[in-house]
Amino acid sequence: MIYDVKLRIAYKYASPAVGGRHLACLLPLNDVDQTVQSASLLIQPAPTERLDRLDFFGNQVTEFSFRAPHDGVRLTLQARVSRSAPPPAIAASARMADLPQLLKQCRDVGSQSPLHCLSASLRVPLDPALTRFARAQVQPGHSVADTVLAVGQALHDHMEFDAAATTVDTPAAEAFAQARGVCQDFSHIMIAGLRGIGIPAGYVSGFLRTQPPPGKLRLEGADAMHAWVRAWCGPALGWLEFDPTNACYCGQDHIVVARGRDYADVAPIKGTMRISGSQKSSQAVDVIPVAG
């Protein structure tokens, strides 16, 4: 499937900001099952400095800064992406009983190494309650892929999607305790649970094509940035991506932007600036299929 993706993010400041330095992680990835045919990121006003580069995990990131006072920032992403996502070959997954030894044998410390996603990270501390929840889903003879599916499905059954229940800074354990949250919460909870039972797990940010209700027209800007989970299932299968918010393996409607250990590695935009007063932000996303 080929998609045209457009993202608009705008920040409006109550008073001019100075000395702004930011890092954006918005450009889609070129990957085995995904080809970026074209992509551009327009930043307004034009930054004083800009650097487009790859980070440690191979994600496309854009560093930019402003020296002059400015009353807001607007970012516009336009991309055409070809996405194919065949069903995962879960039969190739390692068994849970074999996973500890396979990880001991792993000597790779490159960007795709499972060792980076095995222990606690900045936004995903290990938590006893989340570990107990994940361990309760493990059945004798289960493969790693079986366990990932079981944990993801159980989490989907436990949680209710509620955009007003959490903020970007809500801890995973708090969202789990109240059983409400958004895709970031679903993903952080699942990652913590999987790591707690010894399965390397990481965070994926991207775009999700959404369908309007039957009989309704698609609303411009109504699609969304999304997050899901990747789990390492042994050297034969490798990384398996699962969307706990929707209880499904990730398919051709999931467009990958970045992969990391948790949200802190792949936040769409972050940075610092000198400012007094408040700021407002808005975001609109369109994911439009243009060919099969």
Q: State pLDDT tens for residues 20-73.
A: 999 999 999 999 999 999 999 999 999 999 999 999 999 999 999 999 999 999
Residues 166, 181 contacting (CB under 8 angstroms): yes
If asked whether residues 142 and 284 sit together in one domain, one would say no
Which residues, at least 6 apart from 245, have a Cβ–Cβ distance to it below 8 Å?
156, 161, 182, 183, 186, 187, 226, 227, 228
Span 87-107, average pLDDT: 96
If asked whether residues 72 and 173 sit together in one domain, one would say no
If asked whether residues 174 and 55 sit together in one domain, one would say no
Provide the b/e sequence for 34-66 (b: ≥16 CB within 10 Å).
Answer: bebeebebebeeebeeeeeeeeebebbbbebbb
Residue 71 belongs to domain spanning: 2-83+268-291
If asked whether residues 33 and 101 sit together in one domain, one would say no
Quick one: how far is CA 60 from the chain centroid? 14
Bridge partner residues of 169 (DSSP): none
If asked whether residues 112 and 139 sit together in one domain, one would say yes
- We report the CATH number of the domain holding residue 280 as 2.60.40.2250
**pLDDT above 90 coverage of the chain, percent:** 89
Furthest-apart CA pair in the chain: how many Å? Answer: 62
If asked whether residues 48 and 99 sit together in one domain, one would say no
pTM: predicted TM-score of the whole model, two decimal places: 0.95
If asked whether residues 118 and 14 sit together in one domain, one would say no
Residues 163, 180 contacting (CB under 8 angstroms): no
If asked whether residues 101 and 182 sit together in one domain, one would say yes
Q: State pLDDT tens for residues 165-180.
A: 999 999 999 999 999 9
If asked whether residues 237 and 283 sit together in one domain, one would say no
If asked whether residues 257 and 163 sit together in one domain, one would say yes
- We report the CATH number of the domain holding residue 205 as 3.10.620.30
If asked whether residues 285 and 232 sit together in one domain, one would say no
49-54/34-44 β-pairing? unpaired
Nearest to 266 by CA among 221, 222, 209, 228: 228
If asked whether residues 167 and 259 sit together in one domain, one would say yes
Task: Report the number of distinct structural domains present in the chain.
Answer: 2
